[in-house]
Chain A
Amino acid sequence: MSQRNPAISKGVDWVLIWLYLALVAIGLLSIFSVTYRDGDSVIQSFLGFKTDYSKQFYFFIASVVLGLFILLTDSKFFTATANIWYAVGIFLLLLVFPFHTEVKGTESIIRLGGFNLQPAELCKVFVNLALAKFLSRVETDFSTPRSHLIATAIILSPAAITIAQKETGLALVFFAFFLVMFREGFPAGYLIAGFSIGVLVVATLLIDKIILALVLSGIGVAMIYFMRKQIKRKRRLLLSIVAIWGLSIITIVFVVPFLFTKVLQKHQVERIFSLIGKENPYAKLNTVEGEEAPAAVKKDTDYNVRQSKIAIGSGGVTGKGLLKGTQTRFDFVPEQRTDFIFCTIGEGFGFIGCALVLGIYLFLLLRIVNIAERQRSVFSRCYAYGVASVFFFHIAINVCMTVGLAPVIGIPLPFISYGGTSLLTFSTMLFILIRLDADRQMVLR
C-alpha cells in the first residue's frame, strides 16, 4: 500500500521495516505458542480478540496505522513539538500520583476505561525527542558542564519520578540515554567515573567491607608513592587522590548500605543478591516497604530464573519445536508471555533460534547506528542514537535476565513481548526514526 504512494515511501528505509515486521511476527508466534491450547481454531482465535496473540495482533495493526500517520507527518513537526511533548510527559507522570491504580505492586499506571496507561513508558519517546532537541540547538555548546547538567536533568527527572512510582526497571531505561550524550561528546571521564562507582558497589557486595577499604587505601598509598615527583610539582594531584580515596570509602561504608536499605525495594535487593548467589545481609535493615514477604520473595526470584534457565537450556541446539516446549507450555516459567518471552524461543527453537533472533536484533541496532551516522541534522542523529540506546538496553537487560546474567528487572523485549503499550511505544519510536531518516538531507533544528 505504502509502496504505491511515492509521497510516503520516498526515502523510507525498507530494511528497518522488514526487520520490524520479522520481529513482530516472531513475537506473535512466541505468544501464540505459549497461549495456544490444543483444539482451538487458530484463525478464529486470531481474529476474536479473546486470546493474547489476537490482542497482540490487533495492537500490531494499530501500531502500523499509527506508523502510517507518523510517516505522513512532516519531520519538522517533531522538532517543533519536542519540548511540548516532554512537558506533556512530565505532566502525565505527575498525574499518576493522584490518579494511579495499583497493579502488581507498581504505582505507575493510570486506568482509563479498559486501557492501562503507563506514562513512564510513553516518556521514553518524549525524553528522546527533548534530548535530541536540546543537543541540536544552535546555542548548545555540549562541551560545557552546564549543558551536561541540563541534558542529565532532562534524562533523570522522569527517571526520578518513575522511581518514586516503584517502577525501577523502567526508570533504569532512561539511563540508556547517556549513550546519546556520549556520542555527542559527553566526556568519557564521567562515564568512567560512573562505571567505576558501579564496579565499586558490586565489589562492596562481593568482598568484605574492611578488606575492600584496606585494598583501596593500599592502592592510594602506592599511587602517592609512585607519583611523588609529580605531586611535588602539582599539589592538587595529591588532593584529588585523597578525595577519590575518601569518596570510595564513603561509598563503601555509607552509600551502599543506604542504597540497599533505603532506596531499593526489598525484592529488588533480593534479586541482585540471588544473581550473585549470596544471602542478603540487609534483609532486616531494609525499611522500604515491599509488597511481598521476604521468604516468598526469595523463593520467587530463584524460581523465575531457574525455570527460565531450564526452559532455555532444555531447548538444546535445535529446540523442541513449535508448541512442544514443556516448560513454557505448562506455565513453569512465570510471566512468559511478557518479560520471559525469550524462554519460549529458547525452548522451542534452541540455540539456532536464539542466535537468529539475537542476530536480527544486532542487525537492527547496527542498522540504526549507521542510519544515525548518515543524518545531516544533529536532531535526527541524536534521536536515532536514542532509539538505538533504548532498544539495546531493553534487549540486553531482558535477555541477560532470562539467561541468568542480570537480576530480574521487569522490562519487555522490544516487539516480541506481549503488551500493547510497549508495542505501540517501540513502534512509534521506530516510525519517527524512519520518518526523520526519510528526510535525512534536510537540516532540522
Chain B
Amino acid sequence: MALFNQSRGNVIKVAFLVIFVIIAFQLLNLQVFSGKYDLEAKRNALSAKVRYPDRGIIFDRHERAILNNTILYDLVVTPSEARQTDIAGLCQLLNIDSTEFKKRMLEARLKNGPYRPSVFEDLLPPDMHAQLEENIHRFPGFALEERPVRVYPYHAAAHILGYIGEADSNMIRRSNGYYRLGDYTGITGLEAYYERVLMGQRGVQYMLKDNHNRLVGSYENGLYDTLAIAGRNLHTYLDIELQQLAEKLISNKVGAIVALDPKTGGILAMTSAPYYDPNDLTGSNKPKNYGHLALDVARPLFNRSIRGQYPPGSTYKPLGALVALEEGLITPASDYDCHGAYFGCNRPVKCMEKWAGHATNLRQAIAWSCNAFFSDVLKHTIDNPKYHDPRKGLMQWKQYMTAFGLGHRIGVDLPSEDAGNIPDTSAYDKEYRRSWNSCTMTGGGLGIGQDKMTATPLQIANAICIVANKGFYYVPHFVRSVDGNTDADTALLNPYTRKHEVLTHISNELYEVVISGMQDVVDQGTARVAKIPGINICAKTGTAQNKTVLDGRVIELKDNSMFVCFAPRENPVIAIAVVIENGGTGATAAAPIASLMVEKYINDTLRTARLPEVDRIAQLNLMPAHLPRLQYKADSVRAIQWFNLTHDSAYIKKYVARRKS
C-alpha cells in the first residue's frame, strides 16, 4: 500500500517547489526589477519641511538697519490634542466667538488633518502674544510658533524698500520651479529688485511621518537636509534721517522729492507723497491696510519719484540755456527785452516778471526765470542756422535732452521706472500732420519745459546733477555694496560704477555761467526763501501749469510747484528735485523743502530757528481739492459693481443716502 502511491510524494514535492518558485519570481519583480515601490514608500513616509532663510537686511549710509527682520508669533493648533482646551478662555483672549472657533478648528482639520499643527491665528499682535504666552498651558493642543517678519524701524522709505508677499502663480512659473506656493518674494522696491541677493537660500529638512501624518523624527539623522542660507545684506546711500525729514516735509501734499549725491549717483533720499508706513504692509493687518492704500485715488502705492511724469517747467531752463550756449546760438551776454510775455510767435508765452531788465543777460534771465527769454532760446535752437531745417534742429535738441538723461529710463535700481517724454519730429508730425515749425512748440511752452515734455522727479534731479558735475553723471542708484559680493552681484552693480561723460564737451565756462545764474536764483532771484547762510545753493524754481478732466470737463488745476538745486556750488554733494503737485509757484512750496533738506544734509542738523519752519511746512495742506470728489466717484462706482455682483444693498446705501441729503 505504502509503495503503491509513493510517486505521489514526489508530485507533492514538485507542487511545493512550483508555488515557491512563483512566489520567488513575484518577489524578484517587486523588489529587484520594479523601482517604483521605493519611491512610493518615500512618498508615504517622508515629509520635506521647508526651512525659510532670513532675508537680507538693508542699511543706510551710516550702517543703520532700515529694513530688518523680527519674530512674530502664530498660534497653531493640533486638533487631535486640543480636546481638553479651555474654549471659552481662548475665545475671550482672541476676541472670537465659539462658532468662529469651531469654524477654524474645522478648517485646521481639513487643511492638515487632526494630527498635524495648522495655523489657527497668524501674526499675533504683541499684546495678544504676551497674554497667550502666559496662559498657553490652559490650552493643550495649542502652541505659539515663531515666524520671521520684515520690520522697518524708522517707519520710512516705504516706496524705496518695497514689501514682500507670496509669490503668485505667474512668478512661480517664470522662476523655473525655484519658487513654490507660499514662498515669499519681493513685490516692489529694493525687495523686488535685489530679490536674488536678499532672499537667501531655502533649506529643506526631511522628516519621517507615520500613517496618521504625524511627524515622528528626522530622516537619516538629517543626512539629506540642507540648511537655510540667510539672505545677504544691502548697504545703501540712503540717509534715513534725511529721508524721514523729506517725508515729514511732504506730508499732507502730493508730490515727490529726490535727493542725489552728484559725485556717485547715490540716492540720499527719495520720497513720494502720499506715502505710507511700510510696517502697515507686514504683519496681520497687511490685507486690510493694502486694501485701503490700493483704493485711495491719491495713489499712495504709486512711486511718483520714478513713475510720476511731470512737465519740468522752468527747471528745464538751465538745460535749454546750456544747449543754446554750446550750439553758439546765444552768448552769456544775450538779452531779451521782456515786458511780461513772449510775442515771437503768434501765441504769446506769458512771463511772471513784467519789469524791464529782468533778462538783460543769461544770468539774469535764469535768476528771474524769464519765460520770454527761454522761449526765444528754444525758437533759435529749433531754427538752428547750422541746419536750416526745424526738423533737424528739433532732433538735435532731443539728442541733448537724451544726453541729459531725459526721455528714457535711466536705470535706477527699482522696478517699473518710467521713461518720461521728450517729443521728437514724429510726435509733432502726428499731431500737426507734418505742418509745424519752431513756433509750434515755442508757443506751446516747450522752451519753458512744458508742451509735450515730461520727466520724472528722478530724471530732473539727475539732469541737475549733470549740470552740477559739468557734464557727467552716474546712474542714480540706492545700493552701494552687497555683503559677500559674488560675480552676479558685480554684474548687477556694474552699471552704477560707470561714469557717463555725456556732456563734458560743453566747456566749463559755459557751465559756470549757467551755474552762476542758478546761484543768483537763491541769492537774489525767484527763490530767495531757500537761502542758507554759509552755503552757496544753486537752484532753479519751476511753476508748471496743469489741468485735469473731472466730471467730463477740463478744469485748470493749481500749478505744480517745482524746485531743483544742488549745493554747495564749489563742491556739490547733494542735488535735489522737489515736485509738489498743485503747490503753486516753485518758491512757495517746493523751495523751502529743498532748502531744509540741503541744510540738514550738509550741516547734519537744522538750526533751531528753522524747526518751526519744518512744522509749518509739514502742516501745510496742499492736497488737491478735486481728490475728495474723485474718491467719491471711484468708491460709488465700485459700490455699484459690488451691488451688481452680490445684490447686497448695504454696499450702495451710504451713497444713496448722501445723494439725497
A residues contacting B by CB (< 8 A) are 38, 179, 182-185, 307, 309-317, 326-327, 330-332, 346-347, 350-351, 354-355, 358, 361-362, 365-366, 369, 372-373, 378, 381, 385, 388, 392, 396, 399-400, 403-405
B641 at the interface (CB under 8 A from A): no
Tell me which of B1, B37, B216 contacts A313 (CB under 8 A).
B37
The 8 A-B residue pairs with the shortest CB-CB distance, nearest first, are A313-B37, A314-B41, A326-B45, A330-B210, A313-B30, A351-B31, A314-B38, A331-B211
Q: In chain B, what residue has the closest Cβ to A142?
A: B1
Q: Bound state CA distance, A267 and B558, in angstroms?
A: 85
Listed by A's residue number, 22 A-B pairs whose Cβ atoms lie within 8 Å are: A182-B8, A183-B9, A185-B4, A307-B44, A312-B27, A312-B31, A313-B30, A313-B40, A314-B37, A314-B41, A316-B31, A330-B44, A332-B210, A346-B27, A347-B41, A351-B31, A362-B17, A365-B16, A373-B6, A373-B9, A385-B12, A403-B30
Across the interface, which residues of B come within 8 angstroms of A311, CB to CB? 41
Given A313-B38, A317-B32, A354-B5 contact (CB < 8 Å)? no
Q: Bound state CA distance, A179 and B13, in angstroms?
A: 11
17 further A-B contacts with Cβ under 8 Å, apart from A183-B5, A403-B30, are A182-B11, A183-B12, A185-B4, A309-B37, A317-B31, A317-B32, A327-B45, A330-B209, A332-B211, A351-B28, A351-B32, A354-B31, A365-B16, A366-B13, A369-B16, A378-B2, A392-B19
Given A330-B210, A381-B2, A312-B30 contact (CB < 8 Å)? yes
Helix, strand, loop or mixed for chain B's interface? helix
CB distance from A337 to the nearest CB of B (A): 14
Interface size on B, residues (CB 8 A): 40
Across the interface, which residues of B come within 8 angstroms of A361, CB to CB? 20
Across the interface, which residues of B come within 8 angstroms of A309, CB to CB? 30, 37
Q: Are A346 and B12 in contact (CB under 8 A)?
A: no
Across the interface, which residues of B come within 8 angstroms of A405, CB to CB? 22-23, 26
Proximity bits, B71-87, A CB within 8 Å = 1, else 0: 00000000000000000
Across the interface, which residues of B come within 8 angstroms of A312, CB to CB? 27, 30-31, 37
Q: Are B16 and A354 in contact (CB under 8 A)?
A: no
Across the interface, which residues of A come within 8 angstroms of B46, CB to CB? 326
Given A312-B27, A403-B30, A330-B211 contact (CB < 8 Å)? yes
Across the interface, which residues of A come within 8 angstroms of B211, CB to CB? 330-332
CB distance from B18 to the nearest CB of A (A): 10
CB distance from A357 to the nearest CB of B (A): 10
Scan residues 185-240 of chain B and give those whose CB is less than 8 A from a CB of chain A.
Answer: 208-212, 216-217
Q: Bound state CA distance, A332 and B209, in angstroms?
A: 10
Q: Are B12 and A388 in contact (CB under 8 A)?
A: yes
Q: Are B27 and A316 in contact (CB under 8 A)?
A: no
Across the interface, which residues of A come within 8 angstroms of B32, CB to CB? 316-317, 351
Across the interface, which residues of B come within 8 angstroms of A362, CB to CB? 16-17, 20
Q: Are A331 and B210 in contact (CB under 8 A)?
A: yes
Across the interface, which residues of A come within 8 angstroms of B19, CB to CB? 392, 396
Q: In chain B, what residue has the closest Cβ to A324?
A: B220
Most-contacted residue by chain A among B1, B19, B23, B209 (CB, 10 A): B23
Q: Bound state CA distance, A411 and B381, in angstroms?
A: 103
CB distance from A141 to the nearest CB of B (A): 10
Scan residues 256-292 of chain B and give those whose CB is less than 8 A from a CB of chain A.
Answer: none
Across the interface, which residues of A come within 8 angstroms of B26, CB to CB? 400, 403-405
Given A183-B8, A381-B2, A330-B23 contact (CB < 8 Å)? no
B36 at the interface (CB under 8 A from A): yes
Across the interface, which residues of B come within 8 angstroms of A310, CB to CB? 37, 40-41, 44
Most-contacted residue by chain A among B12, B23, B31 (CB, 10 A): B31
B620 at the interface (CB under 8 A from A): no
Q: In chain B, what residue has the closest Cβ to A306?
A: B40
Across the interface, which residues of B come within 8 angstroms of A331, CB to CB? 210-212
Q: Are B24 and A358 in contact (CB under 8 A)?
A: yes
Across the interface, which residues of A come within 8 angstroms of B24, CB to CB? 355, 358
Q: Are B9 and A403 in contact (CB under 8 A)?
A: no
Q: Are B45 and A332 in contact (CB under 8 A)?
A: yes
CB distance from A299 to the nearest CB of B (A): 14
B34 at the interface (CB under 8 A from A): yes
Q: In chain A, what residue has the closest Cβ to B23?
A: A399
Q: Are A346 and B31 in contact (CB under 8 A)?
A: yes
Across the interface, which residues of A come within 8 angstroms of B6, CB to CB? 373
Q: Are A326 and B41 in contact (CB under 8 A)?
A: yes
Q: Are A369 and B12 in contact (CB under 8 A)?
A: yes
Q: Are B30 and A369 in contact (CB under 8 A)?
A: no
Across the interface, which residues of A come within 8 angstroms of B40, CB to CB? 310, 313-314
Given A309-B30, A330-B216, A366-B13, A184-B41 contact (CB < 8 Å)? no
Q: Bound state CA distance, A313 and B20, in angstroms?
A: 18
Given A317-B32, A346-B27, A358-B2 contact (CB < 8 Å)? no
CB distance from A28 to the nearest CB of B (A): 22
Q: Bound state CA distance, A272 and B34, in angstroms?
A: 24
Across the interface, which residues of B come within 8 angstroms of A399, CB to CB? 23
Given A330-B216, A362-B17, A355-B27 contact (CB < 8 Å)? yes
Q: Bound state CA distance, A317 and B209, in angstroms?
A: 24
CB distance from B3 to the nearest CB of A (A): 10
Q: Bound state CA distance, A361 and B216, in angstroms?
A: 35
Across the interface, which residues of A come within 8 angstroms of B8, CB to CB? 182-183, 185
CB distance from A438 to the nearest CB of B (A): 19
Most-contacted residue by chain A among B4, B209, B211, B212 (CB, 10 A): B211
Q: Are B41 and A327 in contact (CB under 8 A)?
A: yes
Given A330-B209, A373-B6, A350-B31 contact (CB < 8 Å)? yes
